[in-house]
Structure 1
């Protein structure tokens, strides 16, 4: 056995008789995802009678003994950094963070460090069981650098798989507060428009013809009328990149301060300049999901941050 690796023995039970090996092991070892177990099988780390079982699709029989060698999680490529975090909730499986505007979620070209992932690697040292065999936080969704608010991150492989399946099924309750230019009419409605990369600027997203890109649905509800603007709650039925920003711009009500999808209206320019407000006025205010391990209903809410509160104060009629 490799240094630092752990060995787990599994005996096939009656209810797993005839199953695929990867599926049976996922039933018997609920703390590990089926994808992780499949990888271990393909790496030759699952044996029966001291011989590797090479195929995840191998059919198992009741009473068979299997030995699984689990290597210690590899170190993440990102560097842990002591960056302050506002933690809304945390347990051994997941963590809910209230992200400030200006913090990038994941390292990428142009932002190699100083990100939420770097902060989480420092905060969660020794707590990460390994997502796909790597000791890293499991990012299952993102919010833009200059959007504030709530997001959930997995600390274990099983939590990552469970949360990802909920996002894929669009069962996550995600609600944003946005300050938009103009006053939407009707005051409540749904934007049902496909989205994909802009053909004119690959850094931007754009509404596409049906069948191109990805299907995207945003439900909006005006909460307060403002000075040539409105405070709107947007509920995401899907979660596409820049979805709220693109959809609201598509119906003629770009987010106030959005440097990519909108231009400041004349009445708003002196207010934005006075406040030094240089981001899209968007806040992830509500996040609800089913806990992927204990099945509890989890709901979190975050107050509109100070910079948006100040912008609202100046825009109130």
Structure 2
């Protein structure tokens, strides 16, 4: 079993480095998941830590876990109230024409027998906002920083495809799934404010598969 790296730890919170490809919840068809590691992540506490938010199976990086029910409720409200600072890095299957910008699209979920479910840009959908900035280019691909204001399902992935016109490299739903073994998205940083304590702050190092494509963070 792969050990999970801990990026932040105190009495009410853990931020872990979730590997790309590891689902948070056990898949219906079975197989490994983050749940296999919860006992290990108790770290002396009596109860398992609980994920406060979700990141896609393919996405690597920062995931916040609450160590007690009261903390879970407070942290969940911070996400709901858009108080959490989130920084993502992604590799696009192309290079955008601008150096930075903001994508504002309303998103809806659709489903079909052939393609399963996915998100689309739709006027009657839920508003979503992502700020982005080009960090580097190599071999016709781009490393981009994303700072989402909202937290819609697949938000950054659909914003790349529908907003920038360039899907994330390796994305099988909003792109062609080629060029990388997974959707190249990484939750690089997380800041969660707290009323009476210092904020929770964590940074997840750039994964090896990003570095293998010639990119570095910074």
TM-score, scaled to structure 1: 0.62
Matched, 1:207 2:121: yes
- Contact 2:192–2:201 (8 Å) recurs in 1: yes
Match of 2:204 among 284, 302, 310: 302
* 2:64 equivalent in structure 1: 152
Runs of 5+ consecutive residues of structure 1 not aligned to the other structure: 1-81, 129-134
Alignment length, in residue pairs? 212
Cα offset, 1:160, TM superposition: 0.4
Aligned pairs for 1:261-280 (under 5 A) are: 261-263=174-176, 272=179, 277-280=180-183
**How many angstroms apart in 2 are the aligned matches of 1:297 and 1:90?**
12
* 1:103 equivalent in structure 2: 22
Runs of 5+ consecutive residues of structure 2 not aligned to the other structure: none
Aligned pairs for 1:97-136 (under 5 A) are: 97-111=16-30, 114-124=32-42, 127-128=45-46, 135-136=47-48
Match of 1:240 among 152, 158, 180: 152
* 1:45 equivalent in structure 2: none
Cα offset, 1:283, TM superposition: 0.7
**How many angstroms apart in 1 are the aligned matches of 2:143 and 2:2?**
31
- Contact 2:19–2:60 (8 Å) recurs in 1: yes
1:243-301 deviation line (CA, Å, top 9, x unaligned): 1111101121100111221126xxxx6xx4xxxx3101111101111246x43123211
Match of 1:255 among 168, 177, 195: 168
Query: In structure 2, the residue corresponding to 1:216 is in which secondary structure?
Result: strand
* 1:284 equivalent in structure 2: 187
**How many angstroms apart in 2 are the aligned matches of 1:172 and 1:202?**
31
1:111-152 deviation line (CA, Å, top 9, x unaligned): 4x5221331233217625xxxxxx443222111111110011
Query: In structure 2, the residue corresponding to 1:215 is in which secondary structure?
Result: strand
Flag the structure with higher helix content.
Answer: 1
Task: Name the Cα RMSD after superposition.
Answer: 2.0
1:165-203 deviation line (CA, Å, top 9, x unaligned): 110011111111101022212211111111121244442
Aligned pairs for 1:1-317 (under 5 A) are: 83-111=2-30, 114-124=32-42, 127-128=45-46, 135-200=47-112, 201-209=115-123, 211-212=124-125, 214-250=126-162, 251-263=164-176, 272=179, 277-291=180-194, 294-312=196-214
Query: In structure 2, the residue corresponding to 1:165 is in which secondary structure?
Result: helix
- Contact 2:8–2:201 (8 Å) recurs in 1: no
TM-score, scaled to structure 2: 0.88
**How many angstroms apart in 1 are the aligned matches of 2:63 and 2:197?**
18
1:190-227 deviation line (CA, Å, top 9, x unaligned): 11111121244442122222x32x22111110011222
